[in-house]
Amino acid sequence: MPERYEEKQRADIGTQEAEALPGSDVLQAEAGGLAGTDQPARSLWSDAWQDLRRNPVFVIAGLLILFLIFISLWPSVVATGSPYNCDIANRNLGAESGHPFGFDSQGCDVYNRTVYGARASLTVCTLATLGAAVLGTVLGGLAGYFGGWGDAVLSRITEVFFGIPILLGGLVFLSVIKSGSVWPVIGLIVLLGWPQVARIARGSVITAKQNDYVQAARTLGASTGRIMLRHVLPNAIAPIIVVATIALGTYVALEATLSFLGVGLKPPTISWGSEISTASQQIRNAPHALLWPAGALSLTVLAFIMLGDAVRDALDPKLR
Amino acid sequence: MTALLDVRDLQVEFRTREGVAKAVNGVSYDVAAGETLAVLGESGSGKSVTAQAVMGILDSPPGFVTGGEVVFQGEDLLKLGREARRKVRGERMAMIFQDALSSLNPVLTVGFQLGEMFRVHRGASRAEAKARSIELMERVRIPAARERVNDYPHQFSGGMRQRIMIAMALALGPELIIADEPTTALDVTVQAQVMDLLAELREETGMGLILITHDLGVVADVADKIAVMYAGRIMETAPVHDLYKAPAHPYTRGLLDSIPRLDQKGQELSAIRGTPPSLLAIPPGCPFNPRCPRAQDVCRTDRPPLYEVTDDAGRPLAGRGSACHFWKDQLHDRP
Amino acid sequence: MTSPEVTEAPPGAPGGEAILEVRDLVKHFPLTQGIVFRRQIGAVQAVDGVSFDLRRGETLGIVGESGCGKSTIAKMLVNLERPTAGRIRFKGEDISRLSGRALRAVRRNIQMVFQDPYTSLNPRMTVGDIVGEPYDVHPEVAPKGSRRGRVQELLDVVGLNPEHINRYPHQFSGGQRQRIGIARGLALRPEIIVADEPVSALDVSVQAQVVNLLERLQNEFHLSYIFIAHDLSVVRHISDRVGVMYLGRIVESGTDEAIYEHATHPYTQALLSAVPVPDPEARETRERILLSGDVPSPANPPSGCRFRTRCWKAQPVCAEKDPALDVPPWFREAKGAVAHPSACHFAAEWEDEPGPGRPEAAVGPGAGR
C-alpha cells in the first residue's frame, strides 16, 4: 500500500509541476534532458512479449508445445521401436520393461503408438484451428468492419453452416473424398469450423470499431488497413483467441470420431483419435491402452488453452 | 427539526483484486423532513456509494459496510434483517437514478411497471393499479397520461422517462427520496423542468430529499444545505447560502473558483491542480493536501476532523463544519 | 497571453480573414427499412442548412442541446461524414469533396479533440504510439529519428510527464487522458482544432485545467477552435463568437456579448434562462423561461420555423415562412451587440418585450410551475 501511494504521488507531481509552470521554455529544456535518459520505446507487442517471457504459465505451455512439435517431427528419436511392430500374443498386456505403457488390443506397443500418433493429431488440430481462426477472423472481421450487403450475405452463410450437423457433413464430405490422409480432415474441419469464429470476430470487430479512437485514427487520415491492424484487431482479438483454443480441443475429438466412424484417418496413419477409438472398446480389459493416448491428448489441449490464456492476458495492458 | 435520516460515521470499502478501496471513510450527514440536502462531489468522492449503503443496495461483494450507523426515523437500518430492510425500500425511502432508460424494463408498459408497485406492495387489483398509475403520471405532469399509460419506455423522451422514474419513487409515499444525479443525462431546458418538479413534490409531500450531484449550479438552485465530499470524506457542511458566500474549506473554494465567471473572460480559470486521488491510495493526513494551496506540514500528517465552524466571537454557525485545519483562514479568505 | 483586444478582434480587423467558410451545409441520414433490399422511408435531417465562418486565431463556440446536430457538424468538418449538400472551404478550397492525397493533406490542418477520454484512446497502445501515430500516417511531417523527441515535447506542452511515454491510457486519470488526446490533435501542427465537448466528461475541478490548457495552446500555436459544448458557461468563457443550434440549424449567432447579454431569439433566451446559476442568492430573483414539450423529431421537423412548436411567440407566419438567419431589419440601425443575426420573425430582447404574450415565466424558486 505505501509503495503504491508513492508511485501515485510521483505520477501526480509530474502533472502538477507542469501545471505550475505554464511558460513552456523551461519545460522544453527539461524535456530535452529527459529524452536522453529515457528507456527505449515500447509497443503493445514488445510489452506483451516481455510479459509472456516472465509468465510461468506461458513458459510451461510453450515448452510442452515445443516438445510435442519435436516428437511429431522426429518420432523415432523418442520412440523405442516401430509402432507397426505388433504381436497379437502381447494383446492387452500391462506395462513391462521396455514397454512402459503396455500393449493394446492388437498387441502393439502403446508408447510407440502414442509417440507416432502425435504427428497426425497435432497436424490436424493445429492446422484446422489455425485455418478456421484465420478464415473466420478475416471474413467475419471484414464483414463486421464494412457492413453492408457483404455482411448480410456472410451472416446468412454462417446461419446455413450452423444448420449443418457437423458429423453428418463430415460423413458425406469424407466418404466422397476417401483418401484417409490428414488433409481432407483438416479441410473439412476448417470448412465447418470457420463460421463459428466468424460470428465471434464479426461481433467483436463491430464493438471495437465504434470506439472513438477509430474515429480519431480516421481524422488523422490513417488507411483502412492501418485502422484494422492497429486499432480494431488488437481490441477484437481476445474473444477470438478464447473461441479458437476451445475449438482446438473439440477438433481433436472430432477427428477421433470421424476416424472411429471409418471416414477420417485410416491405417496406416496413426492418430490419438484413432487409438482412443479402438481402445475405448477394450476399456474393461485394457484401460491403460486408453489412458495414455487420452492423457497425451488432454495435455496437448491444456497446453494450447494455457497458451491462449496467457497471450490474451498479455495483450491486455490493464491486466499487467 | 429532528432528523429523518441520520447517517453517522459510515464506512464502506470495496475489496478488489488490486486491494481494498476505501470508498467511504466516516461520513456523517442528516436530513430532516421537508429538507433538501445536496451531496456534492466529483467522481470517486464516494457520494453515490454512501447513498447506496443508505438504501441498502450496495453490491456486496465487493462492497462492504464496515462501520457506522444509518438511523432512519430512530431505527438503525444496518441492524435490520434482509427482509425488514427490503420493506423499508420503496415503502419508506426510494431512489431515483441518473439513467432512466436502463432503470425501466423495456418490454413492459410504463403503466404496468407503475401499477406493479401497488399490486405487489398494496395488493391492488389490476383496474385499481391502472387508475393509480394514471394518477401518478398526472402528478408528475406527463401530458395525456390516460392515453400514454400503455406506452413502452422507449416511446417517451428522456425528460418524460425521468418523470416516470420519479413517479415510481413516489408511488408508495416514501418519507425520503434519494436522487442520484437525476438530471445529469438531460438537456439544460429539460433539466430545469425535472428539478422544479422534484422541488415542488418535496414541498407538497413534506418528504426529505437527498440530491447527489456534481453540479454546483443545480445545488444552488434547490438545496437547503450541502455536504461536500472528497475521497470518501465530508470536507464541508453548510447551509446553501453560507457555502457559496464564504466557504470554509479550500476544496470548496477551488470548486467554486473553477466555474467560469463573466469577469474572468480572457483570463485563465483558477483550476485546482492535480487529480483526485485513487481510492486505493488515499494520501495520509488530509486527503486533499497534495492539491491544496494552503497545505502545511500538519496537513500531510494529521487527518483533520470535521471542525465546528464558528463566527469571530466563537459562536458556532448553525450547520457549518469544515474538515480543514485552517478553516478560519479560509472562511475569512486570509492567505 | 495575447491581449484581449487581439482575441476579440471585430470582423474585418487585421488577422480577421476567414480560414474556414461553411455554406449551406446539409446532412441527412437516410432511414431505411429491410435487411437485404433496403428502401429509404425518410431521412433524419441532422444538419439542415448551416453556414458560418471561422477566422484565424478565433474560437467559435457552438451550443445546443442533444440532437441539435452540433456533433454532426464536427464530423463533417473533419471529414468523418460527407455532407449531403453544401460546401466547406478551407482557405478558399472546397474540402468536402476531396479524396486520396488531397484529403490527407487537408486533414493535417484540421484535427479533432473528442469528448470521451476513455474511448478516444486505444487501450492497447502506449501513449508514445498514440501521440506518435500522426507521424506514422504523415511521415513527411517528422523524420523517423526525431519522432520520439517530438512526442515527448508534445506531452510536455500539454502538461504531462514526458517520461510516461511508455505507459498505457488506463494508467492515467480522465483529465490526463484528455491531455493525451489534445497532444495527438496537436502533433501535425494543425491550424484548426474541432473540439467536440472536450471537457464535459471531466470532473469540475479538472475541467478548468483543460480549458486553461486549450486557451494557452491557442495562443502558443495560433490555433483556431471550433468549440462544441452544451455547457454554456464554458463556451462563453472560451469563445469569441457563438452560434446557437436548434434542430439542425443555427438560430442565432454573434459575439459572446450579443448572445449572452442581448439574445433576441426566444430559444436562446429560454436556453440561457434554464442554466442553473451557481449562486443561491439568484434563485429568488432570476427569471426562468420554462419551455413546454420536447424537441421534435429531426426526421419530421415542423414547417417554417423549427422552434415554433415550443415558442410562446409563435404566430401563423412562423409555420409558413422559414425565418432566415440574418440581422433583423428592425435592428439594422441599432448600435451595439443587439444587431446580430437571429432567425426569428419576432426577434427582440427579453427585456423589451411587452407583457402579454410572454410565457408564464415567474420569478423566484420553482418559477413557472
In this prediction, residues C55-73 reach a mean pLDDT of 90
CA B215 – CA B56 distance, rounded (Å) = 25
User: What's phi and psi for C142, nearest 5 deg?
Assistant: -140, 125
The pTM assigned to this predicted structure is 0.82
pLDDT of residue B264: 67
Predicted ipTM of the assembly? 0.82
pLDDT of residue C364: 39
Domain with CATH 3.40.50.300 in chain C: 54-82+94-239
pLDDT of residue A41: 66
pLDDT of residue C215: 92
Q: Which residue of chain B comes nearest to C5, CA vs CA?
A: B266
CA C33 – CA C30 distance, rounded (Å) = 10
pLDDT of residue A143: 92
CATH architecture of structural domain C54-82+94-239: 3-Layer(aba) Sandwich (3.40)
Is there a contact between B195 and B164 (Cβ–Cβ < 8 Å)? no
pLDDT of residue C37: 66
Give the burial string for A157-189 (b: 16+ CB within 10 Å, else e): ebeebeeeebeeebbebbeeeeebebebbbbbb
CA B236 – CA B251 distance, rounded (Å) = 9
Q: Which CATH superfamily is domain B3-228 in?
A: P-loop containing nucleotide triphosphate hydrolases (3.40.50.300)
Q: For residue A21, how far is the Cα from the chain centroid?
A: 51
pLDDT of residue C279: 82
Residues in chain B whose Cβ is within 8 Å of chain A: 19, 271, 273-275, 277-278, 280-281, 283-284, 290-291
User: Mutation test of the interface with chain C: which of A157, A215, A219, choosing the one with the most C Cβ atoms within 10 A?
Assistant: A219
CA C244 – CA C271 distance, rounded (Å) = 9
Q: For residue C195, how far is the Cα from the chain centroid?
A: 7
Is there a contact between B100 and B165 (Cβ–Cβ < 8 Å)? yes
Strands B233-239 and B316-322: antiparallel
CA B257 – CA A119 distance, rounded (Å) = 72
Judge whether A149 is closer than 8 Å to chain B, CB to CB: no
User: What's phi and psi for A43, nearest 5 deg?
Assistant: -135, 175
Q: Which residue of chain A comes nearest to C189, CA vs CA?
A: A220
CA B215 – CA B184 distance, rounded (Å) = 8
Q: For each of chain A's 320 residues, which pLDDT tens digit applies?
A: 333 433 333 333 333 333 333 333 333 333 333 333 345 667 788 888 888 888 999 999 999 999 999 988 888 888 787 877 777 777 777 777 777 777 777 778 888 888 888 888 888 888 999 999 999 999 999 999 998 888 888 888 888 888 888 788 888 888 887 777 788 889 988 988 899 899 999 999 999 988 999 999 988 888 889 999 989 998 998 889 888 888 887 887 788 778 777 787 777 788 888 788 778 777 787 788 888 888 888 888 888 888 888 888 888 887 76
Q: What is the DSSP letter of C290?
A: P
User: Mutation test of the interface with chain C: which of A21, A211, A213, A319, choosing the one with the most C Cβ atoms within 10 A?
Assistant: A213
Q: How confident is the model at residue C353 (pLDDT cuts 50, 70, 90)?
A: low
pLDDT of residue C180: 94
Please give the class, per CATH, of domain A45-80+102-319: mainly alpha
pLDDT of residue C8: 39
CA A314 – CA A308 distance, rounded (Å) = 10
Q: What is the DSSP letter of C342?
A: B
Judge whether C316 is closer than 8 Å to chain A, CB to CB: no
Question: DSSP H helical segments within chain C, as ranges?
Answer: 4-7, 70-77, 100-109, 127-137, 147-157, 174-186, 204-221, 232-238, 256-261, 266-274, 282-285, 316-320
Judge whether A212 is closer than 8 Å to chain C, CB to CB: yes
CA A38 – CA C150 distance, rounded (Å) = 14
Question: DSSP H helical segments within chain A, as ranges?
Answer: 2-20, 24-37, 44-53, 56-73, 75-78, 110-146, 148-163, 166-177, 182-209, 212-220, 224-226, 233-260, 272-280, 287-314
Is there a contact between C192 and C109 (Cβ–Cβ < 8 Å)? yes
Q: Which residues, given as ranges, of chain B have pLDDT below 70?
A: 1, 262-264, 266
Q: What is the DSSP letter of A90?
A: G
Is there a contact between B137 and B156 (Cβ–Cβ < 8 Å)? no
Which position has the higher pLDDT, C368 or A122? A122
In this model, does residue C369 exceed pLDDT 60?
no
pLDDT of residue B1: 52
pLDDT of residue A140: 93
pLDDT of residue C361: 47
Among residues 219-248 of chain C, which lie with CB inside 8 Å of chain B?
A: 230, 232-234, 236-238
Where are the strands (E) in chain C, listed by range? Answer: 18-33, 39-55, 59-63, 85-90, 93-94, 110-113, 192-196, 224-229, 241-246, 249-255
CA distance C117 to chain B (A): 14
pLDDT of residue A22: 34
Q: How confident is the model at residue C35 (pLDDT cuts 50, 70, 90)?
A: low
Taking CB atoms and an 8 Å limit, are B188 and C7 in contact across chains? no
pLDDT of residue A25: 32
In this model, does residue C19 exceed pLDDT 60?
yes
Number of residues written out for chain A: 320
Is there a contact between B330 and B248 (Cβ–Cβ < 8 Å)? yes
Q: How confident is the model at residue C341 (pLDDT cuts 50, 70, 90)?
A: very high
- Helix, strand or coil for residue A97? coil
Dig out the grid coordinates for B131 from the structure.
387508475
The amino acid present at B21, given as its one-letter code, is: A
pLDDT digits (tens, 9 = 90+) for C131-182: 999 999 898 888 888 888 999 999 999 989 898 898 999 888 888 999 999 9
In chain C the first and final C-alpha atoms are separated, in Å, by: 46
Q: What is the DSSP letter of B295?
A: -
CB contacts of A319 in chain B (<8 Å) are none
In chain B the first and final C-alpha atoms are separated, in Å, by: 37
CA A270 – CA A83 distance, rounded (Å) = 9
CB atoms within 10 A of CB B228: 26
Torsion sign across C-alpha atoms A236, A237, A242, A243: positive
